[in-house]
Amino acid sequence: MKQVMFTLMAMILALGVVSASDYKIPLIGSKAPKFSANTTNGKITFPNDFGNSWKILLSHPADFTPVCSSELLELAHLQNEFKKLGVELAVVSTDDIVLHKMWKAHLEELNYKQRGTVHIGFPLIEDPDAKVSRLYGMLHDEESTDRDVRGVFIIDDKNIIRSVNFYPVEVGRNMNEFVRMVEALQLTESKFVYTPANWQKGDDVIVPYLPYSTEELEADPKLADRYYSVGNRMWFEQVDASTAKVDNDEE
């Protein structure tokens, strides 16, 4: 009997090790994992149903909680900003569809920040068996085994994960940051530039290469108006040449 118990314990432990090591967070550059689920907008297959839009998948710990409520209302407030950027939103938690529908209806009645009521157009995904949450690494077991942390996956038009963020239960996210992130990602995709710290749309950008040689500058002196350096490692491109400063210092 002792031996049977020991074998059983060893098997349970081994299973635990296997499932823990199988539990991976999808990383930047990887294909967004696919799933089908029931949502407040009907059944969806993510990310496929959103075609070649960009997508943001957000998780949150629980319906009808204050921080999550404020997050959903801020997200709904920015829906049109995301639409303009070609971004579709989807939100998941381990609550079921009945609770999701009740919570959505409740939120849509609120006058948050005196902005009036707002319609929540994006789907709230039910995930009571945590299938989606596990697939995207949104359950952080040390924190909770049944409530998601605040996860954010930004996914591009080719369904590649471009940004991964996790926030703790206690801290509500800045939804404007995800608008900024998409603007930066789409800009750096459209031309070979990077964005410096605290970049906001319209700010100068970093060029990750020496923008011109001495010969090129001689041939086209206007290049010095378009690019400037801070020290000799950081080269910037002026977005608006009429307002930007020029600092071609050679350190």
Catalytic positions, written as ranges:
68
Contact 229, 235 (CB under 8 A): yes
Counting Cα atoms < 13 Å in the Cβ hemisphere of 237 gives 16
Q: Is 92 in the site for ligand BEZ (CB under 6 A)?
A: no
Counting Cα atoms < 13 Å in the Cβ hemisphere of 119 gives 3
Task: Report in angstroms how near the CB of residue 149 gets to ligand BEZ at its nearest.
Answer: 10
Task: Report in angstroms how near the CB of residue 65 gets to ligand BEZ at its nearest.
Answer: 3
Q: Is 68 in the site for ligand BEZ (CB under 6 A)?
A: yes
Closer to ligand BEZ by Cβ: residue 57 or 169 = 169
Instruction: Give the per-residue contact string, 48-67, with ligand BEZ (x = CB under 6 A; - = no).
Output: -------------xx--xxx
Give the chain's count of helices (H) and strands (E). 8, 10
Residue with tokens 């900003």: 81
Exposure b/e, 50-69, CB count within 10 A at least 16 = b: beebbbbbbbbbbbeeebbb
Task: Report in angstroms how near the CB of residue 66 gets to ligand BEZ at its nearest.
Answer: 4
- By CB under 6 A, what part of segment 193-232 binds ligand BEZ? none
Q: Is 169 in the site for ligand BEZ (CB under 6 A)?
A: yes
Task: Report in angstroms how near the CB of residue 62 gets to ligand BEZ at its nearest.
Answer: 5
Tokens of 64: 């009808």
Residues at the interface with ligand BEZ (CB under 6 A): 61-62, 65-68, 169
